[in-house]
């Protein structure tokens, strides 16, 4: 099975020091940034450094996927970014500040032409849009389901740029939770991603010095249906990988579910440990075991 990416770690695309530490971090994917982490004067340098870094790590030898966050379509740099990095065959593109699926379709067309021109496998570069960073974008999250975007990996969301877009002075309440608007947007992103047949990727956890808070947040995120998360510090990666993987208890329970249904092939509903189970529970158990076996292999 194709495993979901549990941890996406941002790396500034113009930092030789931080790029040099990538091989020592167990992130499922790295996002080499050409956007917000790179000052305007440094963007040309990053546009050279990132493809060189990717070319040194051909797909067949990569331990982790290599993605690139390009500049958004409302800037003059998007196509320049794509033209620079597509020949290096990154695994995917993170596209920020999208307004809706038509933006993803436009970038997909660019990639198709660039892949053909540079001999990269057609359709191999996926796209993960940050699908909530403009005022109009939350209204378009349901549209991804009918857009048939073959490159679409899934959807992720962001709070800071949305705050700026709507003139909000904050997005966290007195208890440290997202305020209502951001909870709503997060939920719509989760539903939109699954409606489109993709993965739902949760946004960053800002305090990288709070491992227990991160662990609790990631466990809750996975329970809701997110399959991975964006990290801003290497210290967050192992916790994300742990939390977005089936626990030993989940694996044991899933085995019991599968064995129970296998022993009762004519039953659609069965009881186990005081719980009533039906076919959706069986499918979830089979997915849990498949993920466990794939990770172990």
Region class of 95: left (phi > 0), else alpha (psi between -120 and 50), else beta: beta
Would you tell me how many other CB atoms lie within 10 Å of the CB of residue 41? 8
Q: Give the up-direction half-sphere exposure of residue 138: CA atoms within 13 A in the CB hemisphere.
A: 18
Considering just the CA atoms, what is the radius of gyration of the chain in Å?
20
Contact present, 29 and 8 (Cβ < 8 Å): yes
Residue 62 assigned ligand-binding role: no
Terminal CA-CA length for the chain: 11
Residue ranges of alpha helices (H) inside 135-236 are 144-147, 160-166, 180-195, 211-224
Residue 229 assigned ligand-binding role: no
Tokens of 34: 């050409």
Helix (H, G, I), strand (E, B) or coil at 285: helix
Measure the CA–CA gap between 127 and 153, rounded to whole angstroms: 6
Measure the CA–CA gap between 34 and 45, rounded to whole angstroms: 10
Q: How many helices (H) and strands (E) does the chain have?
A: 11, 10
Residue 161 assigned ligand-binding role: yes
The annotation places the binding site at: 69, 133, 161
List binding-site positions for substrate: 69, 133
Instruction: Please report, in range form, the residues annotated as the binding site for Mg(2+).
Output: 133, 161
């Amino acid at each position: 099975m194709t495993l979901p990416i549990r941890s996406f770690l941002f790396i500034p695309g113009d930092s030789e020091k931080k790029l040099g530490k990538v091989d020592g971090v167990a992130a499922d994917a790295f996002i080499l940034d050409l956007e917000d982490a790179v000052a305007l004067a440094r963007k040309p340098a990053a546009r050279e450094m990132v493809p060189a870094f990717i070319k040194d790590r051909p797909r067949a030898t990569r331990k982790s996927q290599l993605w690139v966050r390009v500049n958004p379509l409302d800037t003059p740099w998007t196509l320049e970014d794509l033209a620079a990095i597509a020949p290096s065959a990154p695994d995917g593109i993170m596209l920020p500040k999208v307004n809706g699926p038509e933006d993803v379709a436009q970038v997909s067309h660019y990639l198709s032409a660039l892949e053909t021109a540079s001999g990269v496998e057609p359709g191999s570069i996926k796209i993960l849009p940050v699908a909530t960073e403009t005022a109009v974008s939350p209204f378009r999250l349901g549209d991804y389901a009918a857009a048939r975007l073959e490159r679409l990996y899934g959807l992720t969301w962001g709070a800071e740029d949305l705050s700026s877009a709507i003139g909000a002075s904050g997005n966290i309440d007195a208890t440290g939770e997202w305020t209502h608007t951001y909870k709503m947007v997060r939920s719509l992103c989760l539903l939109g991603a699954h409606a489109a047949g993709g993965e739902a990727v949760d946004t960053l956890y800002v305090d990288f010095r709070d491992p227990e808070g991160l662990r609790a947040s990631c466990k809750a995120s996975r329970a809701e249906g997110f399959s991975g998360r964006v990290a801003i510090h290497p210290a967050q990666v192992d916790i994300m990988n742990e939390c977005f993987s089936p626990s030993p208890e989940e694996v044991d329970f899933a085995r019991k579910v599968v064995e129970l249904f296998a022993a009762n092939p004519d039953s659609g509903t069965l009881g186990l440990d005081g719980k009533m189970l039906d076919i959706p529970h069986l499918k979830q158990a089979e997915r849990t075991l498949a993920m466990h076996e794939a990770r172990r292999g």
